[in-house]
């Protein structure tokens, strides 16, 4: 049973046809990685799912609800960006609780959720600081915490590690995967790094020029690449 269904998705920016007919069924609890060269449409597709871009045609169904034209804020999805997109003047606590305050969640429930997420992300000592007082890795954990407190149906990650240095990237990658498992989450994770894709994914979706070239487990892609593009892309050193 599909939890999130992408049905013949197309996206045009003026005369540029960026997403050219994408069909995909994602199961609840899956860790899906979108991979492919720069410019192939990974971020655009994620933004369409999140409702941050208008879809040209096609449909999106999440947990039995048609969300194709639903405003972003009502979709029950949380996106974690490469750039963190934190409010620089607000404390970590206020950044993490922002969406819950907007949703008028009771104060003590907000505190419980933020403190729990901060504990999971080792951010408890930093709740009163502002993002500019934190390292890059800590900032990215705040961005993840902000997504977690909303308990979304699906987490959307757009190259969340690309602003971190190599050592931190490995650790944070492992941490994101652990959280996904601990939360019983459903996640879509975009990267152009095939090593990241192969180590994180339950299933990898390989894109080229706005189309899916192949969907499969990391092992399936290694053993039976559908074509030369997939074989070369998966085989390339990072």
Q: Does 18 bind ligand ADP (CB under 6 A)?
A: yes
Query: How many CB atoms are closer than 10 A to CB 212?
Result: 19
DSSP 79-146: EE-TT----TTS-HHHHHHHHHHHTT--HHHHHHHHHHHHHHTT-GGGTTS-GGGS-HHHHHHHHHHH
SS3 at position 238: coil
DSSP run (H or E) holding 219: helix 218-223
Q: How far is the CB of 42 from ligand ADP (least distance, A)?
A: 4
Please give the radius of gyration of the chain, using alpha carbons only, rounded to the nearest integer. Answer: 18
Q: How far is the CB of 53 from ligand ADP (least distance, A)?
A: 7
Number of residues that bind ligand ADP (CB under 6 A): 11
Q: How far is the CB of 36 from ligand ADP (least distance, A)?
A: 6
Stretch that binds Mg ion, among 21-29, 38-46, 164-172, 213-221 (CB under 5 A): 38-46
d(CA 88, CA 122): 20
Q: Which does 44 bind (CB under 5 to 8 A by kind): ligand ADP, Mg ion, none?
A: ligand ADP
Residues 29-68 contacting ligand ADP, CB under 6 A:
36, 38-44
Find out whether 18 and 12 touch, Cβ atoms under 8 Å: yes
Instruction: Give the residue with the Cβ less far from ligand ADP, 141 or 192.
Output: 192
Among 9, 32, 34, 43, binds Mg ion (CB under 5 A): 43
Instruction: Give the residue with the Cβ less far from ligand ADP, 41 or 216.
Output: 41
Stretch that binds Mg ion, among 1-9, 39-47, 126-134, 208-216 (CB under 5 A): 39-47
Q: Does 191 bind ligand ADP (CB under 6 A)?
A: no
Instruction: Give the residue with the Cβ less far from ligand ADP, 46 or 118.
Output: 46
Instruction: Give the residue with the Cβ less far from ligand ADP, 43 or 97.
Output: 43
Find out whether 80 and 118 touch, Cβ atoms under 8 Å: no
SS3 at position 197: helix
Instruction: Give the residue with the Cβ less far from Mg ion, 43 or 187.
Output: 43
Q: Which does 113 bind (CB under 5 to 8 A by kind): Mg ion, ligand ADP, none?
A: none
d(CA 40, CA 107): 43
Stretch that binds Mg ion, among 24-32, 36-44, 47-55, 213-221 (CB under 5 A): 36-44
SS3 at position 30: coil
> Would you give the DSSP letter of residue 47?
H
d(CA 116, CA 112): 6
Interface with ligand ADP by CB under 6 A: which residues? 13, 16, 18, 36, 38-44
Interface with Mg ion by CB under 5 A: which residues? 43
């Amino acid at each position: 049973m599909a939890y999130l269904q992408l049905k013949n998705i197309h996206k045009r920016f003026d005369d540029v046809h960026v997403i050219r007919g994408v069909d995909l069924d994602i199961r609840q609890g899956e860790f899906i990685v979108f991979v492919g060269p720069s410019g192939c449409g990974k971020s655009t597709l994620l933004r369409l799912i999140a409702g941050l871009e208008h879809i040209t045609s096609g449909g999106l169904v999440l947990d039995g609800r048609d969300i194709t034209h639903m405003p972003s804020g009502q979709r029950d999805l949380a996106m974690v960006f490469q750039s963190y997109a934190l409010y620089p003047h607000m404390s970590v606590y206020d950044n993490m609780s922002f969406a819950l305050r907007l949703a008028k969640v009771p104060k003590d429930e907000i505190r419980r959720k933020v403190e729990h997420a901060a504990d999971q992300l080792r951010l408890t000592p930093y709740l009163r600081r502002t993002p500019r007082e934190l390292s890059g890795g800590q900032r990215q954990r705040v961005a993840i915490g902000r997504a977690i407190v909303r308990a979304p149906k699906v987490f959307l990650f757009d190259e969340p590690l690309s602003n971190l240095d190599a050592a931190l990237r490995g650790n944070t990658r492992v941490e994101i995967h652990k959280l996904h498992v601990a939360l019983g989450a459903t996640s879509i994770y975009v990267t152009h790094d095939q090593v990241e894709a192969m180590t994180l994914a339950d299933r990898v979706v390989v894109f080229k020029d706005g189309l899916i070239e192949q969907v499969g487990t990391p092992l399936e892609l290694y053993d039976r690449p559908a074509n030369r593009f997939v074989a070369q892309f998966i085989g390339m050193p990072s």
